[in-house]
Structure 1
Amino acid sequence: MDQNSGEAARLEDAALTRAAQAGEVAALGLLLERHRAGMRAVALSVLGPGPDVDDVVQDAAVTALRRVGDVRDPAAVGAWLRMIVRNAGRSLQRASVPSQPIDDLCLPSTDAGPELRLEHHAMRNWIWEAIEELSPTLRLPLVLRHFSTTVTSYERIADACGIPVGTVRSRLSQGRARLATALAATADAPHADTSQRVRASRAEARETLAAAESGRFGALMTERWSPEIALLRGNTPVGGWAVLARGMDGDLEAGVRQRLVHAVAGRSLAVWEMHLLSPADDPGHCPPSVAWLMTLDGAGRPHRLRLLHPRPVPALQSLTPM
């Protein structure tokens, strides 16, 4: 590539990046197509040949969608995309280190003023609106993979959803593809304030834990959760209100406490990730963490709950590891 054509490519990248930052999903699609070969080459250099290469490139595409507003030099977007792939590949290699959620990735950021900050939040709202257009079977794996902090590996998502790892890969691939279509379809639709919803969900989680510690967990479920609340293991119901109340009370009596560390919330689902604190006289009583994966009903109330330890642990005495 000569100097003139290289400069022309940089100018075109800059124009497409600015359009993508303004919310034009088609512009981002063109950017990804322009740089897909380079992104795949980086994935191959980090991971070697194998199915993980395509997964990492697809993951990077969703990350780019979420964080394109953070590109400092629009003309150098190709290097930014390759960096995302490199980071994702290295994270995949470090199996013992949980993948970071998209919002926490250390990517170049702008010194964004109020207008850019508003634009960035608007884009996040647009993405969540599109996620809600996905079917529940595609939505949950995608949200866990890209928005949680501890349930991000294929194996953990498979445990959460009660499906094989190969099905997780397939659903993530379908989900990413359909997300692009849903983004285009919802670009002009009104979008709810995602950050407000997450703040409300965090407050709800803390109020739930406080109610439990004061002996009011059962009463809170009656007041705020669906009367048809069910505890699932994978896709199989294993109990309802009474089982959940009994499990929480039993763990509290044993001296176990929970502390919220991360929350994600959409209209149809919420994820609360907790640290588990064992009693001082029995530090190995419980595993280090648990994720509450909640499907919400039309009124926004928890309707289905899965409790997942992000690491394999020995079987515990209590039915609900809370």
Structure 2
Amino acid sequence: MNVTPGDAGPAGDAALTRAAQTGDVSALALLLERHRPGMRAVALSLLGPGPDVDDVMQEAALVALRRVADIRDPEAVGPWLRMVVRNRCRTLLRTAQRVEPMETVPLAASGATPEQILQTHALRDWVWEAVEAMTPTLRLPLVLRYFSTQVTSYQQIAEACAVPVSTVRSRLNQARGALAQALTATAASAHDDMSRRTEASWQEARETLAAAERGEFGKVVKDRYSPEVALLAGGQRLGGTDLLLAGMDGDLSAGVRQRPLHVVAGRSLVVWEMELLSPPDAPDHCPPGVAWIMSLDGGRFDRISLYHAARPQPTAPPAAA
């Protein structure tokens, strides 16, 4: 990269942004440091002094990691970063007026597949190396919040992790700080190829469902899952291998099918987000989706937490004239 910290101005910003969009860690770090005063000034103007400012700055940095590839005008990266801060502040202010925060992470409105989104966004291998360095307690809410697509609100994460919303807030705050430190520590080291890992996990999800429909789910479980695998929902252990097999068999017998929508794949945590397709004669048989939140030990899945998407609220009939 031919840009130095002294190359201020739109041209320098543009060069740094283009480098960051190709995965240059130092370029993205320099951009964030260069625009930190302006970003912090926006946060202070909307929130006033206090710890919320630091939280918003950390969140904005994570949004930049995910969305730097979306920047169409590299010379305008400064206004873009300040807009990110402004949006996070407004979300926080709206949330403060509620009993339970329900905000979701905005997603790019495009027709891209999850695989394409992964390739074009700054979810680089070094980010995942930093995520893997966290404790499982901090890793799970962070991955759900920033890398899943269906379990992103504080309330949803609280339900999936079986903890209060206040605990989700606290753990995310700790996780963001830990991620910032870990990114600095891991930026120069070698990392696994995240794209290959994710592509393999997509393939595994599809093959798992195909095997289940062929009546071979038991073989998949024997090959890929720990003999002591635990199946959980809402933080409660429901059972092990027998229940896992019976649950899949029961769904298939009832005509329920699953279709992978999104995959998050790390060394120790994998999330498969599935669309649930009810049988034609019972369109309300099941919720619209389920997330398989799976931890690995020694290369085998040893815990599966299921989080079912909420059913859509029935539409009230129109009032009589």
Mapping of residues 186-225 of structure 1, within 5 Å: 186-225=186-225
Distance 1:80 1:183, change over 3 A: same
Q: Counterparts of 1:252 and 1:138 in 2: how far apart (Å)?
A: 35
Mapping of residues 1-322 of structure 1, within 5 Å: 10=10, 13=13, 17=17, 22-24=24-26, 26-40=29-43, 57-85=57-85, 99-100=105-106, 104=108, 124-299=124-299, 301-311=300-310
- 1:84 deviates by 2.9
Partner of residue 111, structure 1: none
Aligned to 2:25, what secondary structure does the other structure show?
Answer: coil
Mapped contact 2:44–2:53 kept (Cα < 8 A): no
Mapped contact 1:148–1:264 kept (Cα < 8 A): yes
Partner of residue 3, structure 2: none
- 1:287 deviates by 0.7
Mapped contact 2:287–2:309 kept (Cα < 8 A): no
Equivalent residue letter for 1:296: L
Q: Which runs of 5+ in 2 are unaligned?
A: 1-6, 96-100, 111-117, 314-321
Distance 1:65 1:138, change over 3 A: same
Indicate the larger mover: 218-227 or 28-37: 28-37
Aligned to 1:146, what secondary structure does the other structure show?
Answer: helix
Alignment identity in percent?
57
Partner of residue 317, structure 2: none
Equivalent residue letter for 1:27: L
Distance 1:161 1:97, change over 3 A: closer
Mapped contact 1:129–1:186 kept (Cα < 8 A): yes
Indicate the larger mover: 208-217 or 12-21: 12-21
Q: Counterparts of 2:168 and 2:218 in 1: how far apart (Å)?
A: 34
Q: Counterparts of 2:105 and 2:182 in 1: how far apart (Å)?
A: 25
- 1:200 deviates by 0.5
- 1:40 deviates by 2.0
- 1:91 deviates by 7.6
Q: Counterparts of 1:42 and 1:257 in 2: how far apart (Å)?
A: 50
- 1:216 deviates by 1.3
**TM-score in terms of structure 2 length:** 0.78
- 1:232 deviates by 1.7
Q: Which runs of 5+ in 1 are unaligned?
A: 1-6, 107-116, 315-322
Structure 1 residues 132-152: Cα deviation after superposition (integer angstroms, max 9, x where no partner): 111111111111011111000
**TM-score in terms of structure 1 length:** 0.78
Indicate the larger mover: 9-18 or 288-297: 9-18
- 1:88 deviates by 5.3
- 1:76 deviates by 2.2
Q: Counterparts of 1:304 and 1:96 in 2: how far apart (Å)?
A: 27
Distance 1:170 1:28, change over 3 A: farther
Distance 1:89 1:121, change over 3 A: closer
Indicate the larger mover: 276-285 or 34-43: 34-43
Structure 1 residues 22-65: Cα deviation after superposition (integer angstroms, max 9, x where no partner): 31164244135223235426866xxx999988755543220112
Distance 1:71 1:100, change over 3 A: closer
Distance 1:8 1:196, change over 3 A: closer
Q: Counterparts of 2:262 and 2:281 in 1: how far apart (Å)?
A: 27
Mapped contact 1:217–1:245 kept (Cα < 8 A): yes
